[in-house]
Structure 1
Amino acid sequence: MATSFNEQFDQHGAWRREFALRLKLLSEWLKDHELLDAAVEERLRRLEGSMRSDKVMVAFVAEFSRGKSELINAIFFAGYKRRIMPASAGRTTMCPTELGYDADVPPCLRLLPIETRLHMQPLMEWRMVPEKWTRIDLDVNDPAQLAKAFEKVAEVVRVTKDDAKALGFWHDDTPEDNPPLGSDGLVEVPKWRHALINIAHPLLKQGLVILDTPGLNAIGAEPELTVNLIPQAHAVVFILAADTGVTKSDLAIWREHLIAEDADTDARLVVLNKIDTMWDSLSTPIQVQAQIDRQRATTAEILGLQVEQVIPVSAQKGLVAKVNDDMELLQASRLPVLEQALSQGVMGQRQKILRSAVSGSIGDLRLEATRVIQIRRRDLAEQMVELKGLRGKNTSVIKHMRARIEQEQGDFDASGAKIHAVRSVHLKLLREVFSLLGNSTLKTEMTELTTALRQPGIKLGVRKAYSETFDRLRAGLRKAATTSADIQSMLTGTFKQLNAEYGFSLQAPREPELARYERDLDLVERSHNQYLGMSNALRLAQPEFADRLVRALATRLRVIYESALGEVELWNKSAAAQLDAQLRERRRNFGRRIEAIERIQQAASGLDDRISEIESQEATLDQLDAKLAELTAHLTSTSVSAGAANSDSALKQA
C-alpha cells in the first residue's frame, strides 16, 4: 500500500528531529573551535527554531452535514477505535476548531465565548488572554472522556435577533442566509467563537495542526478565519457530498473563501464524501463506479480543477474499517487514496520548501565559518613569510622587525575611529529601514484604513480604501529596499577600502530580498479583495465588522513585516560579525607575531620551532575546513536515513 499521510508525516517528524540534533552538535563543534561568531550563531538559532517549531496546517472546510468531522476522525483519530470529534446526526462542529500540540500547555480544550465578537480584539490577541477562555482538562488515555469533552464544540446558545445581529449571524439585507427564527423569537447561534485543542497525539506532537471549520455562515462572520487562517494553511481539504455534488452554498464557499486569483490550486483537494450512499444493491459495481466518475468529472469542471484533485471517499466506512481492521472495506472506502494524495501533496510540498530554505541557510552558515578559517590561514601565511625572511639574520634585524610590527599595531589601533565612523553612517541608514518596517509604521497604516472605512457611504469605496493602503505599504517596502541597496553599495565600497588598507578579506553579505515580501503583500491584498467583493458588502457597512477585518489584516501583515525585519537584522549582523571577526583575528595576529619575535630573541632554535608550529596550525586549519564541509554537507543531505548514521559518527569523531 502507498505511504499514508500519517506515515509520511512520521517520516517528516523524524527528519526534523534528526536535523535539529545534528544542528545542535554542529553548533557545539563550531563553538569548540571558535568559529561561532554572532552571525553564525544567529543563523544556527533561527534554523534550529524553525525546525523545532515548524508547523503543517491542514484546513478542512465544508458546509454543514458533509461529513467533515467524520473524515478527520477517519484520517487522524481511528487509532482511538471510536469517534473523537463530534460527527453524529445533529452534532457537528459549530465553531472553528484548531487541534495542535504545545508542550508548555497541559492537555486541554480551550473555548472562547461567542460574546468576544462584541469586542474589537482579533483572535491572535485573545490567545494571549487565557483567563478569557473556558478550559476543560483532557485525559488523552481515555477516548470516552476526550469524545465527551470535544462535544463542547457543537454547543449552541439561543439569543435574541438583535444579539444575533450584533454577533454577526443575522443580516436584515440577506434574509435567505439567516438562521431560522424560533417560535419564541430566539435565534440559535454557536456558543463558542473559537476552540483550541491541545493533545499529545503523535502527529500533532510532530507539528501537524488541524483546522476544522464550520459552515458558510460561520466562516463569513469571522474575518480572521477567512483572511488569515485558511489562506495560510499548507493544504485545504474541501468536502462535498457525493450524492448532491456542488450545491449553491458549496460553490459560494469555494469561490468566496478558497480560490483567489493566481491561487495555488495544487494545495486544494476536493473530497466527494459519502460515496457509500451510491452503493446500490440494484446497480452493478460498474454502474455505481460510472455514476461516481460522472459526479467526479462534473465537480472538477465546476470548480476548475484537475479530475485527480477530486477524490471520492466514504469517511464513515473508512473509520469503521480502521476500527474493525477490515482491509476490504478500507479499500472500498477509498480513504487510502485520499491519504496518499495528502502525503504526496501536503508533505511533499512542505518538505521541498523546508529543505530548500535549509540548504540556502546552511550554505550561508558555511560561508561565514569558512571566512573565519580563511582569515586565520592568511595570517599564518603572512607570519610564515615573515619568519622565513629572518633566517640567517642578526639581532639588530630581528629588533627592527619587532619595532615594525609594533608600529603596524599602533597604526591599526589608531584606525578604530575611522571604522567607528563607517559603522555610524551604516547604522543611521539602517535605522531608516527599521522605521519603515517597524510596528509603528504598520499601526499608522491600519489606523488610517480604519478611519477611511468609518466614513459615511464608504460601502462602495471599500476596495479603493484597501487599495490605497496596500499601495502605501508597497511604496514603504520599496523605499526600504532602495535604502538597503544604498547600504549594500556603501558596505561594498567600505569593505573594499578596508581590504586594501589593512589586508582584510571582507565581503558584503547578500542583500535582503525585500521584493518577496512585496509579493506576500500582493497575496494578502488578493485574499482581502476577494472577501470585499462578495456578499460581505453589507457587513462591511457596519463599523464594528470593518474594524474586525482590519485587525485581522494587521495580524497577518505583522507576520510579514517581522519576517522582513528579521532578514534585515540578520544581514546587518552578518556584516558587523565579519568586521568584528577580522578585527579580532588581526589583533591576535599582532600578539602572535610579537610573541614569535620574543621567542626567537631568547633562543636560536626559536625560529625553526615557530615555523614548525605554523606548519602544524596550517594543517589543523585544513582539517577544520574539511570537517566543516563534511558536517554541513550532512545537514543539506536530502536523505535522512542514508546520512544520519554517518553524520552522527562524523560529529562524534569531531
Structure 2
Amino acid sequence: MLVPGLDALTDWRLALERDLDALTRFLVEGELLSSSALQTAQSLRQRLASDKLVVAFVAEFSRGKSELINAIFFADAGQRVLPATPGRTTMCPVELSWDEQELPTLDLLPIDTRREGISLAEWRRQRERWHRVQLDPSDMAALSRAVVEVTATRHVSIDQARALGLWSDEIGADNPPVASDGQVEVPAWRHAIINFPHPLLQRGLVVVDTPGLNAIGAEPELTLGLLPSAHAALFVLGADTGVTRSDLDVWTQHLGGQGLSCFVVLNKVDTLADPLATEEDREAAIERQCVNTAETLHIDRDRVFPVSARMALTARLEGDAERLSASRLPALEAALTQNLLPQRQRLLGKTVIGGVQSLLEHATRRLRDQRRHNAEQMLELRGLRGKSQGRVNQMLTRVRADTTEFERCTARLSALRAVHARMLRGTLRSLSSERVREAVNALQQTLGSSWFNLRARAAFGELCQRLVAHIDKAAHDCTEIGQMLEASFQQLNAEFGFSLVLEPAPDLAVFREELQLIERGYARYFGVTRIVRMTQDGFNEQLQRMLVSKLRTVFETAQGEVEAWNQAASAMIDGQYRERRRSFKRRAEALERILQATGELERRLAEVEAQDQRLLAQVDQAYDLGTAVRQRAERGPAALPSATGRSPLTLVRSDGAMAPSRRA
C-alpha cells in the first residue's frame, strides 16, 4: 500500500511543479513579478522539486531493521538489498537516497576520520576522503554484494579504540569485548551513503538505518541531526524480548517526546510460534506483548505493530499473498500510508497555496497600478476631444507640472531609505551569527573545558534564553519597522499617488519555537544520568559543533526572512516610483504627438483602451492559472485522502479586501 501511495504523492507533486511553472512563466512574460516575488516563486518550485520523504529505522543491534527495510521497500529487487543474514549486522548508519546530479555509488566514510574532529555535515562536503564504490543500476546482485561492506569491522588496540571514541574507561560494561590478543573489534566505517536510482528513491524517498544509538561512540549527529529531520521513525523491537533496558534507553533518550511520527514494530513474531499452543493462545501472546510494549513506552496500543519481516520478504519474493498477510506487514504499511503521506500532502499543499496567493497578490497589485495609470490617461484623452490646440497645451503644461511635483518625492524616498536601512541594520544585528558565537563563548566560560558537569544543564538553559531574547528583540524591531513603513506608505500614497501596501512581517515566533525544540533536544545530554557517557573522548567537541551549527542555521534562516521582507518593501517602492515616472513620460509624449498630428488623439486613445483590455485579460489568465494550482494542491493525490478546510484562493485588492470578481 505504501508504494502506490508514494507514487501518487510524487505524481501530484510533479503536476504541481508544472502548474506552478506555467503560472510563473506567464507572470514573468507579463512583467508582473518583481525580483523578490520571482525569488519567492523560484524557492517555492525548489521546495517542490527537492521535497524528500525521510523514514528512519531505529533500534539496537540485531532487531531486524535491515530485513524490515528490505521487505517494505526493496522486495522488487528479487533479493535482499541490505545485509540481514546471521552474523551480518549493519555496523554504521546507512542512508539510501537518489541524487540525479551524482553517479550511482556507495560512499563509505572511514572510521579513522573520527580522529580529525570534523562533523559529518562537513565530511559530506569533502567526498574525496570517502571510499567510493561505483554501482551498476542494472545489477541488483552487485548492489547487494557491495552493500555488505557496511557490516565490515576491523581490529584495533584498546588505545586506538579510545582515540577513536569507541572505548570508554568509565563505562566498561558497554565496551566491545577484548580478544585474546588484546585487540577489540570496531566498525570499519563511520557512515555510509547509498546513491541509487531505485524507483522509490527516485520518487523522493530517503531511508535511514541507524543502528546502535546507545553504543559507545555513537554519532551525536544521528540523534541531533538525522532523526529530528525525519518525517517518521520506525522503532524496531524483538517480539521475543519485548522492551529491553537498552531499548528503553534508546526510546527515552532519542525518540520519546521528540514530536516524530513514531511507529513501534515488534519484529520476529514468528519466533513466538509454539507447536504445543493453539492459534488462539499464540494470538493472545502476541497481543499481550503489544499491550505491554505500549504501556512501557507510554504510547497508544494502535502505534504498536507486530510483524515478521523475514516472512514478509520471503512471501513477496515468492508471490505468496497468504503468507504475506500472515506476516502482518500490510497493516504496518497501511498505517504509514494513512498517517504519513496525507500529512506530507497537507504540508506541501499549504505551502503551495500560500506561495501562489502571495504571487497573485503581488501580480494583481502591479496590474491594478497599470490600469489606474491607463484610466488617468483615458480620462485626459477623452477630455481633449473637440478641444483646441490651446487646450492640449494646457494639459501638457499640467502634466509637466504634475511631473515636477511628483519629483519632490525623491527627497522623501531618500530619507525613508536611510531610516529604513538604519532600523534594518539594528534588527539584523540581533539575528547575526555573532550572537550565537557570543552565547556559546559565554557557555564555555561558565563550564570550562568540559561541557558535562553538574552546572551544565542550567548554563545551557541560560544560553537558550539569551538566544530567545535576541529573537524576541528582532521581532520587536520588525514591528517597529512595519509601523514606520506603514505610516510612510500612507503619506506617499496620499501625496504622490502611490499604491504601496506593506506585506505582513515574517513570523519570528517560528524560530523561537525552533530554539525551544533544540533546547529540549540537547538538554537531555546535560542530565546527570548522561554525563558519564557524554564525557567520552571526542563527544564533547562533536556536540559543540552540532549545537553551534543548528543554532546558526536558525539565526541565518530568520535573518534571511527578515532581509527578504525588507527587500520586498524596498523593491515595491522602487518599482512604483519607476512606473509612475514612466506614466508621466508617456502622458507627456502622447500630448506632444497630439499637438503635432491631427487624428493622433483617437489613435492614442485606442491604444490605451486596447492596453487596458490586455491587462484585464491578464487578470483573468493569472486568476485561472492560480486557481488551477490551488485546486490541485487542495485535491491532493488521487490515492490519498484529500485535504479539507482550505480557504479558497482568490484575487485580493490592494487594501486587503476580497475581490468580488476577477476584474474587480
For the aligned pair, the TM-score class normalised by the smaller chain equals: over 0.9
Find the aligned partners of 2:637 and 2:283 in 1 and give their Cα distance.
41
Please state if 1:83 is matched with 2:80: yes
Q: 2:233 maps to what in 1?
A: 236
Q: 2:48 maps to what in 1?
A: 51
Find the aligned partners of 1:118 and 1:129 in 2 and give their Cα distance.
16
Aligned partner of residue 162 in structure 1, secondary structure: helix
Q: 2:17 maps to what in 1?
A: 20
TM superposition score normalised by structure 2: 0.92
- TM-superposed deviation, 1:491: 1.0
2:104, 2:134 within 8 Å by CA — same for their partners in 1?
A: yes
**267, 281, 285: which is aligned to 2:275?**
281
**90, 94, 99: which is aligned to 2:96?**
99
Q: 1:264 maps to what in 2?
A: 259
Q: 1:121 maps to what in 2?
A: 118
Find the aligned partners of 2:515 and 2:414 in 1 and give their Cα distance.
37
**368, 371, 382: which is aligned to 1:374?**
368
Moved more, 122-131 or 413-422: 413-422
**273, 293, 302: which is aligned to 2:296?**
302
Find the aligned partners of 2:59 and 2:246 in 1 and give their Cα distance.
10
Q: Which string of whole-angstrom CA distances, capped at 9 and with x for unpartnered residues, describes residues 210-260 of structure 1?
A: 110111333863111111111221111000111111111111100011113
Residue correspondence of structure 1 range 118-197 to structure 2 within 5 A:
118-197=115-194
**483, 498, 516: which is aligned to 1:489?**
483
Aligned partner of residue 221 in structure 1, secondary structure: coil
Q: 1:293 maps to what in 2?
A: 287
Residues 456 and 640 of structure 1: CA distance in aligned 2, closer, same or farther (over 3 Å): closer
Please state if 1:336 is matched with 2:330: yes
Find the aligned partners of 1:628 and 1:31 in 2 and give their Cα distance.
11
Residues 107 and 581 of structure 1: CA distance in aligned 2, closer, same or farther (over 3 Å): same
- TM-superposed deviation, 1:457: 8.9
Moved more, 594-603 or 296-305: 594-603
Find the aligned partners of 1:616 and 1:218 in 2 and give their Cα distance.
74
Counting matched residue pairs gives 636
- TM-superposed deviation, 1:338: 1.1
Find the aligned partners of 1:208 and 1:444 in 2 and give their Cα distance.
39
Residue correspondence of structure 1 range 521-536 to structure 2 within 5 A:
521-533=515-527, 535-536=529-530
Aligned partner of residue 453 in structure 2, secondary structure: helix
Residues 330 and 610 of structure 1: CA distance in aligned 2, closer, same or farther (over 3 Å): same
**3, 6, 20: which is aligned to 2:3?**
6
- TM-superposed deviation, 1:96: 1.0
Q: Which string of whole-angstrom CA distances, capped at 9 and with x for unpartnered residues, describes residues 62-95 of structure 1?
A: 1111100000111111111101101110111111
Find the aligned partners of 1:456 and 1:104 in 2 and give their Cα distance.
42
Find the aligned partners of 1:362 and 1:429 in 2 and give their Cα distance.
30
Find the aligned partners of 1:147 and 1:542 in 2 and give their Cα distance.
35
Q: 2:641 maps to what in 1?
A: none
1:488, 1:511 within 8 Å by CA — same for their partners in 2?
A: yes
- TM-superposed deviation, 1:451: 4.6
Find the aligned partners of 2:452 and 2:306 in 1 and give their Cα distance.
45
Please state if 1:403 is matched with 2:400: no
Aligned partner of residue 475 in structure 2, secondary structure: helix
Find the aligned partners of 2:112 and 2:214 in 1 and give their Cα distance.
17
1:449, 1:550 within 8 Å by CA — same for their partners in 2?
A: no
Aligned partner of residue 271 in structure 1, secondary structure: strand
Aligned partner of residue 39 in structure 1, secondary structure: helix
Matched AA of 1:124: A
Find the aligned partners of 2:269 and 2:636 in 1 and give their Cα distance.
39
Q: 2:648 maps to what in 1?
A: none
Matched AA of 1:623: A
**209, 214, 218: which is aligned to 1:217?**
214
| Structure 1 unmatched runs, 5+ | 643-654
Q: 1:639 maps to what in 2?
A: 635
Find the aligned partners of 1:31 and 1:213 in 2 and give their Cα distance.
45
Find the aligned partners of 2:419 and 2:619 in 1 and give their Cα distance.
35
Residues 73 and 534 of structure 1: CA distance in aligned 2, closer, same or farther (over 3 Å): farther
Q: 2:315 maps to what in 1?
A: 321
1:216, 1:249 within 8 Å by CA — same for their partners in 2?
A: no
Q: 1:553 maps to what in 2?
A: 547
Find the aligned partners of 2:130 and 2:75 in 1 and give their Cα distance.
29
1:459, 1:538 within 8 Å by CA — same for their partners in 2?
A: no
- TM-superposed deviation, 1:442: 2.6
TM superposition score normalised by structure 1: 0.93
- TM-superposed deviation, 1:620: 2.0
1:38, 1:573 within 8 Å by CA — same for their partners in 2?
A: no
Residues 100 and 447 of structure 1: CA distance in aligned 2, closer, same or farther (over 3 Å): farther
Find the aligned partners of 1:317 and 1:293 in 2 and give their Cα distance.
19
1:453, 1:543 within 8 Å by CA — same for their partners in 2?
A: no
Please state if 1:386 is matched with 2:383: no
Moved more, 432-441 or 35-44: 432-441
Matched AA of 2:635: S
2:165, 2:537 within 8 Å by CA — same for their partners in 1?
A: no
Moved more, 560-569 or 200-209: 560-569
Residue correspondence of structure 1 range 436-455 to structure 2 within 5 A:
436-455=430-449
Q: 2:421 maps to what in 1?
A: 427
Q: 1:591 maps to what in 2?
A: 585
Find the aligned partners of 1:456 and 1:603 in 2 and give their Cα distance.
87
1:220, 1:226 within 8 Å by CA — same for their partners in 2?
A: no
Find the aligned partners of 2:255 and 2:494 in 1 and give their Cα distance.
57
1:42, 1:570 within 8 Å by CA — same for their partners in 2?
A: no
- TM-superposed deviation, 1:414: 4.3
2:168, 2:216 within 8 Å by CA — same for their partners in 1?
A: no
Residues 451 and 158 of structure 1: CA distance in aligned 2, closer, same or farther (over 3 Å): farther
The percent identity for this pair of structures is 45
Matched AA of 2:30: H
2:165, 2:216 within 8 Å by CA — same for their partners in 1?
A: no
What is the CA RMSD across the aligned residues, in angstroms?
1.9
Find the aligned partners of 1:355 and 1:450 in 2 and give their Cα distance.
43
Q: Which string of whole-angstrom CA distances, capped at 9 and with x for unpartnered residues, describes residues 130-156 of structure 1?
A: 121111111121112111111111111
Find the aligned partners of 1:127 and 1:66 in 2 and give their Cα distance.
28
Matched AA of 1:121: I
- TM-superposed deviation, 1:458: 5.5
Find the aligned partners of 1:164 and 1:225 in 2 and give their Cα distance.
20
Find the aligned partners of 1:139 and 1:420 in 2 and give their Cα distance.
62
Residues 88 and 122 of structure 1: CA distance in aligned 2, closer, same or farther (over 3 Å): same
2:389, 2:595 within 8 Å by CA — same for their partners in 1?
A: yes
Aligned partner of residue 360 in structure 1, secondary structure: helix
Q: 2:467 maps to what in 1?
A: 473
Q: Which string of whole-angstrom CA distances, capped at 9 and with x for unpartnered residues, describes residues 534-577 of structure 1?
A: 64302444573212101111222233223212221221232122
1:213, 1:219 within 8 Å by CA — same for their partners in 2?
A: no
Residues 369 and 219 of structure 1: CA distance in aligned 2, closer, same or farther (over 3 Å): farther
Q: 2:662 maps to what in 1?
A: none
1:236, 1:269 within 8 Å by CA — same for their partners in 2?
A: yes
- TM-superposed deviation, 1:434: 2.6
Please state if 1:621 is matched with 2:615: yes
Matched AA of 2:224: V
**349, 352, 365: which is aligned to 1:355?**
349
Matched AA of 1:152: E
Find the aligned partners of 1:325 and 1:542 in 2 and give their Cα distance.
49
Moved more, 190-199 or 404-413: 404-413
Matched AA of 2:192: A
Matched AA of 2:259: D
Aligned partner of residue 28 in structure 2, secondary structure: helix
Find the aligned partners of 2:295 and 2:629 in 1 and give their Cα distance.
44
Q: 1:69 maps to what in 2?
A: 66
Q: Which string of whole-angstrom CA distances, capped at 9 and with x for unpartnered residues, describes residues 456-505 of structure 1?
A: 79511111221121111111111111111111111111111110111111
